[in-house]
Structures are given as structure tokens and as C-alpha cells.
Amino acid sequence: MISKKFYDKKVAFIGSGNMAEAIISGFVKYDIINRSNIICNDISQERLQVISQKYAVAVQHDKLKALENADIVFLAIKPQQFNFVLDEYAKEISKAKLIVTIAAGISTDFVEKKLSKKSVVIRVMPNTPALVGKGAIAVCGGANATKENITDIADMFSVIGRVVCVEEKLMNAITAVSGSGPAYVFYFSEVMRNVAENLGIPGDIAKELVYQTIYGSGKMLIESGLDDAVLRKNVTSPGGTTEKAMEEFMNSNFSEIVSSALTKAKQRAEEL
């Protein structure tokens, strides 16, 4: 059962992009936070209008007014904006009981040093499937965060996907794997769809087949109880078509390409 201990708390979102919208949509849909207590801030007035119309929450272009009396602050801004926002609004942000960050590469230590010594900071790495309630979400806590704080935030995020609680030292690697992961899947889908068309399959049929194949395969990974290697071997009959395709992947060092890509993503998270 999802906790509603924060139902009457005032929640401020600094930044109201796609990920903030995913969180807000889950809170509203499952009545986690009273929508009248949610206030959203963004540099784009157009974006605020969209959020207001879709979710009937309050919006505020002025960060100071958005942060006023907030119990929980979600910092849903880009990594490059953190220095400015934390320097400019440290006093107001520090007043919140919980500060939640969802930016790649921004450590809890970095945030804590900008705020008051007592600030409780929770770091979260969601991914874009959270927009459809199927996110993969990692949560960790800063120096002042208790197990209860971490559990509370994990519980809140469970409405938009599957949540794991981890040590912070894993967060940059998780950013590379699940945070950026949807782009890898979408790219593979894009390539498969284009090749399918080149092989003579009409575009609309290629799209339907590729999308359903990826969806069904993901569902099998979660629901079958079998791991990915076993499922792959079950599809790969000796001497068959799948074996030929798999030989080509392996001969082309597909695993090395993936390893290199994820390592570079992790390194970029560390740079940020």
C-alpha cells in the first residue's frame, strides 16, 4: 500500500520538464500529494501553462514564491543550472524538510555544501518510461538522510515505476545504464525498423512488428522468471536464423560497443 504521509505537505518543483511531469502525474493520479499543495516553477511560461492545464496544479514563474513554505523541494533542473539555483536560493531551499534532486551527476554532497548543514537531500535517478508509469528508478540519501527518508521517497516514486535503493557510489553507473538506457533501446528499435523497411516490409507493418517485439521481450524479461541469457538461448535454435544473426552481432563486437558506450556515459555523469 502506497503511503500518503505527505498528502498535506506543500511540494515545490523547481523545473517542470518531462521528468518533473512524470512525477507530478503519478502524484496526482494516485493521490499521493494533494494537487492543491503542488506548485511548479519553470523558466518557460509556456511549459507552466501546459502543466497547469493538464494537472490542475499551481504554477509560479518566480522561484522565491514557489519555494515559500515548501515542505519538499524537487530540484528537477539540468545539471548545468545547479550552481546558479543553489547559490541564488540556498536559504529558501534549505527551509524544506526534504530536498530531492533528479539530475545526472549531481551528488548529494555537492548539494549539501550549498545548503544548510542540516538539509536532508535525497538523490533520485529516474528514466523517461516514468512518463508512462514504467520507469526504472534508483534512490539514495545524503549524509543527513535517514532510512525512513529514503524509504518515503522510494515509496512516493513507486507510483511511476520500479524503485531500487542503492549506495550513492553506484548512481553514475546507474545513470549510464537505466537513466540513459531508454535511448539505447529506442536507437536499436529505430535501426531495426529502418532495416525491416529495407528488407521490403511496409513501414507501418515494420513499426508495429518491431515495437511489439521490444514490448513483448521486455515483458518476458520481467514476468518469465528467466534471465536474459536463458531467454536468448531459448530463441536461438542451432543452425537457425536467429543463430546467424547472433553470430553477426558477436563477430562485430557488439558487447564491446555497448561496454564502451555505457562507460563513456558513466564518465560524462562523473564530469557533470
pLDDT digit string (tens) for 145-192?
999 999 999 999 998 899 999 999 999 999 999 999 999 999 999 999
Contact 251, 157 (CB under 8 A): no
Contact 138, 122 (CB under 8 A): no
Going by C-beta distance under 8 Å and a sequence separation of 6 or more, which residues neighbour residue 130? 19, 22, 23, 26, 137, 160, 161
pTM: 0.89
Give the model's pLDDT for residue 5: 83
Using 50, 70 and 90 to split pLDDT, how confident is the model at 269?
confident
Rounded Cα distance, 38 and 14, in Å: 11
Identify the CATH class of 11-171: alpha beta
What's the whole-number mean pLDDT along residues 81-92?
93
Q: Which three cell numbers stand for residue 21?
A: 511531469
pLDDT digit string (tens) for 53-84?
999 999 999 999 999 999 999 999 998 999 99
Domains of the chain, by residue range, sit at 11-171, 181-271
What's the whole-number mean pLDDT along residues 188-214?
97
Rounded Cα distance, 97 and 119, in Å: 7
The SS3 of residue 86 is helix
What's the whole-number mean pLDDT along residues 41-56?
94
Using 50, 70 and 90 to split pLDDT, how confident is the model at 3?
low
What's the whole-number mean pLDDT along residues 233-256?
92
Give the model's pLDDT for residue 2: 65
The SS3 of residue 259 is helix
Q: What is the dotted CATH code of the domain comprising 181-271?
A: 1.10.3730.10
What's the whole-number mean pLDDT along residues 40-45?
93
Rounded Cα distance, 262 and 272, in Å: 15
Rounded Cα distance, 96 and 93, in Å: 6
What's the whole-number mean pLDDT along residues 3-32?
89
